[in-house]
Amino acid sequence: MAINKTEKPGCLSKIFPFLRQRPSAVDSPIPQSVPKELPYRLRDDFLSPAEFSFYKVLTNLLGTHFVVQSKVRLADIFYVARPNENRAFFNQISVKHLDFLVCDPVTMQPLLGIELDDSSHQRSDRQERDDFVVEVFKVAKLPLLQIPARREYNQREIAALVVPILKEKLQSAAAPLPETSTQSAGVPVCPKCGIPMILRTVSQGENQGKPFYGCRNYPSCRQMKPFMPSKS
């Protein structure tokens, strides 16, 4: 028997509103237009200036001996024992990320975590988050470094923090790390950043065309040294 949709509701429907007839899914309006493209765009600030500066110094320091990953989810580094019983603990690490993760280049085993702490880490909620992350790394027995965020970093200072932790791996590496405290093959080291400088050429002015040594971190670092050709 067909239902008359125009039929007025009975007495019971007035007393019990849930008995009133509701429009079916067939009666629901269908959107007439569908977005022509999804609203996703590529970020041009994947790393902040402080993160990018640190990344360059760290990769220059470690070279090809290690792999440096950035913005890694904690749930991709750690797993939760007895996940069915501890789902709440998984949720706690599924939404948190680590700034940098140093891995073995052969096995990709995590060796060291690094967090850059900016001014936001002074907030009470961030401090609670940091305390939790520190405890996670401690329980999982993975070293964690917390370094104040800056616009510029000194490679020798970073080496003093990182190298002792990775000492065992560094000793077994096939080749030594780039020297950061002395000149190598006549190339000077930036006195500010502690990394080998590169040869550049003056582009304008009375010294146009003359070579000089400049820091690799230019324009964030503008340290320069004169080019002294070797005497043969």
pLDDT digits (tens, 9 = 90+) for 19-69: 555 555 455 565 566 668 999 999 988 999 999 999 999 999 888 889 999
Overall average pLDDT of the 184-195 stretch: 68
Q: Is the pTM of this model over 0.75?
A: no
pLDDT at residue 10, rounded to an integer? 58
In this structure, the answer to whether residues 143 and 184 fall within a common structural domain is no
- Same domain, yes or no: 53 and 166: yes
The residue out of 171, 191, 211 marking a domain boundary is: 171
- Assigned domain for 9 exists: no
- Whether residue 53 sits in one domain with residue 167: yes
Asked if 188 and 167 sit in the same domain, the reply is no
Report d(CA 102, CA 167) in Å as an integer. Answer: 13
154 and 213 inside one domain: no
Residue keyed to tokens 């003056």:
202
pLDDT higher than threshold 70 for residue 111: yes
Is 190 within the bounds of a domain? yes
User: Are 163 and 77 part of one and the same domain?
Assistant: yes
What confidence score (pLDDT) does residue 169 get? 65
Let me know whether 96 and 199 are in one domain: no
Quick check: is 140 in a domain?
Answer: yes
- Quote the Cα angle for 174-144-88, to 5°: 125
Same domain, 149 and 114: yes
What rounded mean pLDDT belongs to the chain? 80
Residue 12: inside a domain, yes or no? no
Is 127 within the bounds of a domain? yes
Asked whether residue 19 is assigned to any structural domain, the reply reads no
Tens of pLDDT along 155-184? Answer: 889 999 998 899 876 655 444 444 444 444
The three-state secondary structure class of 22 is coil
**End residue of a domain, out of 171, 187, 219:** 171
Q: Is residue 29 part of a domain?
A: no
How many independent structural domains does the chain possess? Answer: 2
Q: Are residues 193 and 124 in the same domain?
A: no
Report yes or no: 142 and 77 within 8 Å, Cβ to Cβ: yes
pLDDT, residue 174, reads: 42
Which residues constitute the domain of residue 154? 49-171
- The verdict on 202 and 161 lying in the same domain is no
Percentage above 90 pLDDT, the chain: 40
Determine the pLDDT at residue 90: 95
In the numeric block, which tokens belong to residue 35?
A: 């977005």
Residue 102: count of CB within 10 angstroms of its CB: 22
- Residue 147 tokens read as 């370094």
* Average pLDDT of span 173-197: 58
pLDDT category at 216 given cuts 50, 70, 90 is: confident
Is there a domain that residue 220 lies in?
A: yes
Tell whether 166 and 186 lie within a shared domain.
no
**pLDDT for 140:** 96
Q: What percent of the chain shows pLDDT beyond 70?
A: 74
Among 146, 171, 196, identify where a domain stops.
171
Q: What is the rounded distance in angstroms from the CA atom of residue 69 to the CA atom of residue 51?
A: 12
> Which residues are paired to 97 by β-bridges?
73
CA distances from 159 to 153, 166, 173, 226 (A): 11, 10, 16, 27
Residues 160 and 53 in one domain: yes
Q: 15 falls in which pLDDT band (50, 70, 90)?
A: low
**Residue 212 in contact with residue 198, Cβ under 8 Å?**
no
